[in-house]
Structure 1
Amino acid sequence: MDFEPIYLSLKLALITTAILLLIGIPVAYWLSGKSTMAKIILEAFITMPLVLPPSVLGFYLLLAFSPNNGFGKWLHEHLNLQLVFSFQGLVFASVIYSLPFMISPVKSAFGHLPETLAQASYTMGKSKWQTFIYVLLPNIKASIYTAAVLTFAHTLGEFGVVLMIGGNIPGVTKVASIAIYDAVETMDYEAANQYALILFAITFAIVLAVFIFNKKAVKNPFE
């Protein structure tokens, strides 16, 4: 059995999750504030991957990333970067596709925090940045953990978007979901079953970890 697709899937999921932790939490915090038309429009775009067929999103990303069109052409000419049929393209597409899985739980958690938390921090002389890091984030750690795990698991199982953007290049873009598809196409059900079982086991383990962590967080909310 070739474990390269499993390695690529885990690598893609880890990188995507790390990037979305960095950009998703600040965006979620901003969206949780006073509602404006700009925020409503942005949140609608962020939520689109939840309702769009992956092939639709993958098709438009393929057009956008193509070296023959706008954004993709600019990247190729000025940065010598090609996102189509590359691992970098998979990361970029996965960040867009998994964005709502990171932002939605974190935004909801920020929205349920009492305003008195931040006000008390400001009264004690803490800045907005200090309040965000040392007061608000610790109080939503369970939601951040859940969002990170959901993002990881969702990225791990991606198929339509990664197929459209990355194709099927062994060692570069052939992730586990693509390997399963290939194995079924060639009627190699034993290989498909092996890949599927590994993905099932990994996904079950991380989802179980979420339930265990959240159960402990409910019992000990101030730890």
Structure 2
Amino acid sequence: MNHSALYVTVSLSLLTATILTVSSLPFAWWIVYSGSRWVTLGEAILTLTLVLPPAVLGYLLLVVFSPDNPFGGFFAKILGHPLPFSFEGLLVASLLYSLPFAVQPVSQAFRQIPQSTIEMARLLGASRARTFFRIIVPLSLSGLWTGWILGFAHTVGEFGVVMMVGGNIPGSTRTLSLKAYDDLLSMNDKSAWESIGYLLLFSFLALTALNLIRRKGTSRESIEVTRR
């Protein structure tokens, strides 16, 4: 098996999951704590990719990423090449496509933190930033890990968006899902099953990790209830 598709998939998924985990923090803070009247609209925009067909989203991103578009032209000047049909373009598309999977678990974790805990920190003189990084973020680690795992797993399984934006270029933008598709079309069953095996392995590991996080969170809540 040519392992370039495996390398592209793992590299893309790791980068996407890690960047989304960091970027989910300000988004989740704004949703939960800002009190803005635009939160409902903002959440709808952030979760739009959950309901848009991947091929439609991929086409829209191709339009936005075009060098003739201000956004795409800006990145083309920085990178020295257009975003479409490049690994960098694939990464930006994956970030936008998987954003809700990272933001929603972190937002939910923020909501579960008792308001009294935050108010107590503020009464003791902690600044808003110190409260966020020393109280809110440590208490939301399960949400952050959940968002990371979901972002990774969702990126591993991408097909429509990576096909439209990446162009299925071997060694650059061809992922395991695209390689499996190509192998099935060419009746190369052995190679296709190798790609499918990796996809199944990543999915199994992701679901196992999510279940462990969920069980750990449930056990912790049971201990707190017992203590009360």
Query: What are the residue-to-residue correspondences of 1:73-88 with 2, within 5 Å?
Result: 73-77=73-77, 80-88=80-88
Aligned to 2:126: 126
Aligned to 1:111: 111
Take 1:98 and 1:35, find their aligned partners in 2: how far apart are those partners? 25
Aligned to 1:178: 178
Take 1:125 and 1:175, find their aligned partners in 2: how far apart are those partners? 50
Take 1:219 and 1:60, find their aligned partners in 2: how far apart are those partners? 44
- Write the letter of the residue equivalent to 2:48: M
Task: Tell me the matched-pair count.
Answer: 222
Aligned to 2:5: 5
1:101 and 2:119 aligned: no
Q: CA-to-partner distance for each residue in 1:127-150, whole Å, 9 max, x for gaps?
A: 111111111122221121111101
Take 1:127 and 1:69, find their aligned partners in 2: how far apart are those partners? 41
8 Å CA contact 1:8–1:173 kept in 2: the answer is yes
- Write the letter of the residue equivalent to 1:179: K
Unmatched 5+ stretches in structure 2: 224-228
Percent identity reads 37
Aligned to 2:64: 64
Aligned to 2:23: 23
- Write the letter of the residue equivalent to 1:176: L
8 Å CA contact 1:85–1:167 kept in 2: the answer is yes
Take 1:76 and 1:206, find their aligned partners in 2: how far apart are those partners? 34
TM-score, length basis structure 2: 0.91
Take 2:57 and 2:109, find their aligned partners in 1: how far apart are those partners? 28
- Write the letter of the residue equivalent to 2:75: L
Take 2:144 and 2:118, find their aligned partners in 1: how far apart are those partners? 18
Aligned to 1:41: 41
1:163 and 2:163 aligned: yes
8 Å CA contact 2:66–2:72 kept in 1: the answer is yes
8 Å CA contact 2:28–2:104 kept in 1: the answer is yes
Take 1:101 and 1:109, find their aligned partners in 2: how far apart are those partners? 13
Take 2:137 and 2:70, find their aligned partners in 1: how far apart are those partners? 38
Q: CA-to-partner distance for each residue in 1:159-198, whole Å, 9 max, x for gaps?
A: 1001101101111001111101110111112211110111
Unmatched 5+ stretches in structure 1: none
8 Å CA contact 2:109–2:142 kept in 1: the answer is no
47-56 vs 139-148, which moves further: 139-148
